[in-house]
Structure 1
Amino acid sequence: YNYGPRGRDPLPIRIMTKTESSLLYPGVAHSWLCDGKLLRLLEPLAPGNTPLFQDQWKRGQPVLVSGVGQKLNPDLWNPQSFSKDYGDIKNDLINCLTGNIVPNQPMKKFWEGFEHYGKRLKDDKGQPMVLKLKDWPPGDDFAEMLPSRFEDLMSVLPMGEYTRRNGRLNLAGRLPECFVRPDLGPKMYIAYGSAIHPNRASTNLHLDISDAVNVMCYVGVPKDADYEEHIKEALKAIDEAGCDILTRRRVREKEEIPGALWHIYHARDSDKIRDLLNKVAIERGDKLEPHHDPIHDQAWYLDGPLRERLYKEYGVEGYAIIQCLGDAMFIPAGAPHQVRNLHNCVKVAEDFVSPENVSYCFHLTQEFRHLSDTHTNHEDKLQIKNIIYHDMKDAMACLMAASKEIQIKSEVEESVEKKVKESDS
């Protein structure tokens, strides 16, 4: 690492080929997407994954892990099981086409329309809505409300030392029991597909204060609509999204089911993205309000023309990634990203705080303080200062204990050596 006036400089982005990485990490099943920038691990629970994962992660690069879904219990993650178990619960839904909230709807109605276009809730014009269920269950512990699904997910979640609540490399797990635990999930993100609605996001451009892993547990296509048309539109969206040739081949030749289209950018490029979005807003005649932020406000989706301007005017190129059924997407803290569901998706996300990105977590907390008091991110819900303090305290305790052991061992050896010399004399 190099250290500048503002602290540690980020490591340069690494671009690899399979030939190079196979020599450095023999025996690790993997490939490279996004022209060599995106690591794709192929065996989610293989112990040899960690060094390769860490070498990408410390550079602030996202990682894709495939094969997680093959280890999940499929009976727990389909629409029918959710409708049966939680259909009577009411929840607010979001219309992805307008951003409007559809309040207090029985979950059964949402699930009935998940794979049946004709059963979907309709808007004021009588058109079926593209609905999203975000951050569910709200305010409840996933482990308590969905215990069987929690156990199933935790048993297959890759990079467990980072992603488990008690993982050694999940710094959030070091908070003492007397503290209110930050809500790091898991949370479910379930949305209808929008392949036939170009440039409409399931989740607009935003960034998160912590690291996250997002698992695609189920992908469905409407059974009462034109199946071939939906597949065709999804493939068209992939072709227009800037995906590399290997990604496009994956969803065509490998017959994998594409669920969501992601665009992820490096955390270090956030200010350039903000600058572009503010510039575009001014060009459109919008007024820039104080204490608001174009990324944190989640008001933008970077479509093709905006992504092209970002590259031409700022030299910023992100990752165009297709998350297929069973893929786990690792997103570093502070990395701006947006998601568009091509088909109907059931996703589960777990947040964590890794040593590699804790500095971004801290700086983002400071950044959020400048947002308006009404902004959802204004408050430090992560308690990052408490996390850093107690992690440092535990680390120092371990170092002091190890140092004391070494000192005692050295004193014992000196004492034995002295006695041997005395006996010899």
Structure 2
Amino acid sequence: MQNKRRKSEEKDIPVVMIESSSEEEEAEKDDNYVGDSDEDSCDHSMEKMKKRKRKVGSDKTIGGNGKMESKMCHQCQRNDKGRVVCCSKCKAKRYCVPCMTRWYPGMPEEAFLKACPVCRHNCNCIACLRLDGLAKHLMNVEMKFSDEEKLEYSKHILRALLPALEQFNTEQMIEKEIECHIKGLPDSEVNIRKAKYEKDERIYCNYCSASIVDLHRSCSSCSYELCLTCCKELRNGNLQADASEVKVQYIDYGPGYLHGKHCSITPANNGTCTETTEFKLRDQIKVAVTSKWKPKENGAIPCPPKDMGGCSKGTLNLRCIFSENWISQLLLKAKEIAQKCKLKEMHNDSELHCSCPKYKGVNDTSGGKLRKAAARENSDDNYVFCPAVGDAQLANLKHFQYHLFKGEPIIVTNVLDSALGLSWEPMVMWRACRQSKKTTDVLNCLNWCELEMNIHQFFKGYMEGRFDSYGWPQLLKLNDWPPSGLFDERLPRHGAEFSCCLPFKEYTHPQYGYLNLALRLPDNCLKPDLGPKAYIAYGFPTELGRGDSVTKLHYVVSDTVNVLMHTQAMVPTVEQLSAIENLKQNHKAQDQREFVTGANRMPRRIKDSVPNVNGKSDLEGLNFSQDKQNCDSLKVENSNKAENMKYRQQGLKVENSNKGENKKNSQRVVKADCGTNKIGEKYQYREDSSLFGQNLSERFEEEDGGGALWDVFRRQDVPKLEEYLTKHFREFRHIYGSPLPQVVHPIHDKTFYLSTEHKRRLKEEYGIEPWTFVQKLGEAVFIPAGCPHQIRNLKKSFSAVLRKDVKQDSGMN
């Protein structure tokens, strides 16, 4: 296509000139245009030119040297946009001023003159975006490792996987012994037949849906298969209840209910939503397995009844996928190599160490490589490792492995510095995407329901902002776009750019990462979908308390890296902020009506009077403790200066909340500062009206680049976290803004987002808190497998996520 363009520019022939259109007409054309399919983009551009009103002219002028000079812009393929800048490097490409301003806002005109975007390999015109040549070149740039590095990395993989391999082999040997007992034969005479399966087939347990690697039991009469873990639980009598679907119904009471109005007697439009969860019930509400499925006295397991997916006729026989003794032989060989290389266990390896000053009791930030993210007492993990992308060397790789093995998040800064500079602005992404579908499903964070929306309109709202009819920010999310598995196909240039900027490529490179175990799977094996995946979301800097742009609490079974590729601030007007504040008061009143029940009373702010702080409050449901072990200080916000002295005498901090013009909403507030983490507190939920004062718009514009607020919990805190959520689940809202009617699994359900208030209460009641930090543009966040986490978008943001199928460094077996 570049050749076609060059021919039209080099030949001195008359060309068609397009009449310029108004901005309104251009916008209308953009709204109707949803992107090309896989046809040649230049042909598409020429086809559009034919359909428009045109006049005959020439795209060339006579220059000072007497030669004809073209005025056609490479970006828009038009010659009527006025002055163009010609590249002095290639002397062939030109860009008009409107295109330079619109599509390359961070690139000055002098940079175009020195080397145009085509020469810099970051041109975002439709034709260049869809050229596969550069993308394939970038993806096929092979990472080269020395023999010494390969040996070191191989030792690390072996040392990390050896404990898991030993445990796996032990489970299989136990099942073989049971099989010998069932058949009454010695081990040497028991022959385990191989299972029949296709090479690209994923074999999984019919009961718990876990993948089956080798030994399992299969019915002799039907296709029912059971993994060894379920076999063990069934024999021990503690097999969990059948993982049948749990359906939770939510009622739609209309948009007014979402903003605090009393719900109508009948649902709006008789709307209901049924959410299906396939996870097992919580321990306290488990249902015992019915007596109709029990193992025999000798340990044999019959096929379960039909209502449980079996046939109730056959017997589950032991089958293998690999050869009978393959795992045992593999383990023996691995131990021999480990002994020969004198490998140590990972937790005893002195080479995997941390040089961070925090572990030495030194109050230093190690040159910016640490970022405080928690305020736990008597803990050495309040800081997270935060290297720059240029520090990803062998020494820092070991440092990286140490923190990942400990189950700690890691932040790598400035990752976009190693990229080519291709724009990740959503309108560029929309033009680049090779798809013909005009609409997609987006998630409305207020009612947590999906709606069908024109893709271009979604991206337009990303750039301009959207509000609903009540004046509340309409925060939308587009998850996994383009659809799963099609990112590299439909956005090849961006997929290659993302791979190039990933840090610690030994782990993250999708094709040549030596420590990426997904690449170690056989070619004929069905491989997991690890991404990349794109997540595009609107955002708001302060916590609204309802309808926030969030990714709810969850965790995944593989390590994950999330890179923030683009952000754009949302700057609401003073009128919009006033409407938001009024609606927040309605939300608060609704929460008090619906959530204040008995002992589970919602925390309230005090408006009428401040009680005497003597350890208890005069008002019901409030208890102020002066235990210094739990609370660093108590703080009073007071609009009456005459009363400040008596609170200061009681050791309270006094703040004036009567700042700004809205004095009638001033109030006095008692706050207990219970040692909570101060990270990101400027993004926290505030109910006082002074937050929405006259100068707030300036504060929105002055943010320091923070795009997403993360909360990552430690693995060892998961039981207490689940207990807290199970206890307080009725204080959370989900679909249609309805309170949660029940909880199946607090984390797997993905129905919880802990607000600032809930995180404070979590620390008060259970003594745990997450790592809380702000992810900025160009930062990559590594989340270890098994760490529950949640995200709130502070700005409109575009994130690319890659999962790496490698749990050897996460300390999980």
Which residue of the partner structure matches residue 163 of structure 1?
A: 508
**Cα offset for 1:352?**
0.7
Once residues 509 and 419 of structure 2 are traced to their aligned partners in structure 1, the CA distance between those partners, rounded to angstroms, is: 16
1:376-407 Cα offsets, whole Å, 9 max, x none, are: xxxxxxxxxxxxxxxxxxxxxxxxxxxxxxxx
Which residue of the partner structure matches residue 53 of structure 1?
A: 400
**3-state SS of paired residue (1:114):** helix
Which residue of the partner structure matches residue 94 of structure 1?
A: 443
| Amino acid paired to 2:570 | P
Which residue of the partner structure matches residue 561 of structure 2?
A: 213
8 Å CA contact 2:710–2:790 kept in 1: the answer is yes
Once residues 80 and 52 of structure 1 are traced to their aligned partners in structure 2, the CA distance between those partners, rounded to angstroms, is: 39
Residues 41-120 of structure 1 correspond to what in structure 2 (within 5 A)? 41-44=387-390, 46-47=392-393, 48-86=395-433, 89=437, 90-103=439-452, 105-117=453-465, 120=466
Once residues 449 and 703 of structure 2 are traced to their aligned partners in structure 1, the CA distance between those partners, rounded to angstroms, is: 35
Normalization by structure 2: what TM-score? Answer: 0.37
Which residue of the partner structure matches residue 242 of structure 1?
A: 677
Cα gap change, 1:320/1:224 in structure 2, threshold over 3 Å: closer, same or farther?
closer
Once residues 244 and 44 of structure 1 are traced to their aligned partners in structure 2, the CA distance between those partners, rounded to angstroms, is: 26
**Cα offset for 1:177?**
1.4
Q: Does 1:37 align with 2:383?
A: yes
**Cα offset for 1:224?**
7.4
RMSD: 4.2
Which residue of the partner structure matches residue 752 of structure 2?
A: 300
**Cα offset for 1:83?**
2.7
| Amino acid paired to 1:318 | P
Once residues 247 and 52 of structure 1 are traced to their aligned partners in structure 2, the CA distance between those partners, rounded to angstroms, is: 31
Which residue of the partner structure matches residue 279 of structure 1?
A: 727
8 Å CA contact 2:407–2:811 kept in 1: the answer is no
Q: Does 1:182 align with 2:521?
A: no
8 Å CA contact 2:475–2:549 kept in 1: the answer is no
1:209-244 Cα offsets, whole Å, 9 max, x none, are: 211000011110237757998xxx9xxxxx999344
Which residue of the partner structure matches residue 172 of structure 1?
A: 518
8 Å CA contact 1:217–1:348 kept in 2: the answer is yes
| Amino acid paired to 1:281 | F
Which residue of the partner structure matches residue 17 of structure 1?
A: 357
**Cα offset for 1:69?**
2.3
Once residues 37 and 215 of structure 1 are traced to their aligned partners in structure 2, the CA distance between those partners, rounded to angstroms, is: 20
Cα gap change, 1:140/1:46 in structure 2, threshold over 3 Å: closer, same or farther?
closer
**Cα offset for 1:323?**
0.2
Partner residue of 2:717 out of 264, 269, 278: 269
**Cα offset for 1:309?**
2.3
**3-state SS of paired residue (2:402):** helix
| Amino acid paired to 1:310 | L
Once residues 729 and 676 of structure 2 are traced to their aligned partners in structure 1, the CA distance between those partners, rounded to angstroms, is: 23
8 Å CA contact 1:33–1:247 kept in 2: the answer is no
Once residues 127 and 286 of structure 1 are traced to their aligned partners in structure 2, the CA distance between those partners, rounded to angstroms, is: 22
Normalization by structure 1: what TM-score? Answer: 0.68
| Amino acid paired to 2:798 | V
8 Å CA contact 1:115–1:223 kept in 2: the answer is no
**Cα offset for 1:310?**
1.8
**3-state SS of paired residue (1:356):** coil
Cα gap change, 1:32/1:21 in structure 2, threshold over 3 Å: closer, same or farther?
farther
**3-state SS of paired residue (1:339):** strand
Cα gap change, 1:9/1:100 in structure 2, threshold over 3 Å: closer, same or farther?
farther
**3-state SS of paired residue (2:386):** strand
| Amino acid paired to 1:60 | G
1:162-217 Cα offsets, whole Å, 9 max, x none, are: 11224122222211111222110000111001335523242111111211000011
Q: Does 1:334 align with 2:334?
A: no
Which residue of the partner structure matches residue 130 of structure 1?
A: 475
**Cα offset for 1:80?**
2.4
Once residues 142 and 70 of structure 1 are traced to their aligned partners in structure 2, the CA distance between those partners, rounded to angstroms, is: 22
Between the two proteins, the alignment pairs up a number of residues equal to: 339
Once residues 384 and 755 of structure 2 are traced to their aligned partners in structure 1, the CA distance between those partners, rounded to angstroms, is: 21
**Cα offset for 1:156?**
1.5
Gaps of 5+ in 2: 1-159, 169-344, 375-381, 582-672, 684-698, 733-738
**Cα offset for 1:322?**
0.2
Larger radius of gyration: 2
The answer to which structure, 1 or 2, has the higher relative contact order (CA under 8 A, 6+ apart) is 1
1:280-335 Cα offsets, whole Å, 9 max, x none, are: 1268896545xx21111111111122212221222212111100111110001111
Residues 183-198 of structure 1 correspond to what in structure 2 (within 5 A)? 183-198=529-544
Gaps of 5+ in 1: 234-238, 363-425
Once residues 482 and 459 of structure 2 are traced to their aligned partners in structure 1, the CA distance between those partners, rounded to angstroms, is: 15
Q: Which has the higher helix share?
A: 1
> Percent of aligned positions with the same letter in both sequences?
31
Which residue of the partner structure matches residue 762 of structure 2?
A: 310
8 Å CA contact 1:116–1:224 kept in 2: the answer is no
**Cα offset for 1:142?**
1.9
- Mean CA deviation greater in 139-148 or 219-228: 219-228
Which residue of the partner structure matches residue 194 of structure 2?
A: none
**3-state SS of paired residue (1:305):** helix
Once residues 334 and 262 of structure 1 are traced to their aligned partners in structure 2, the CA distance between those partners, rounded to angstroms, is: 15
Residues 376-387 of structure 1 correspond to what in structure 2 (within 5 A)? none
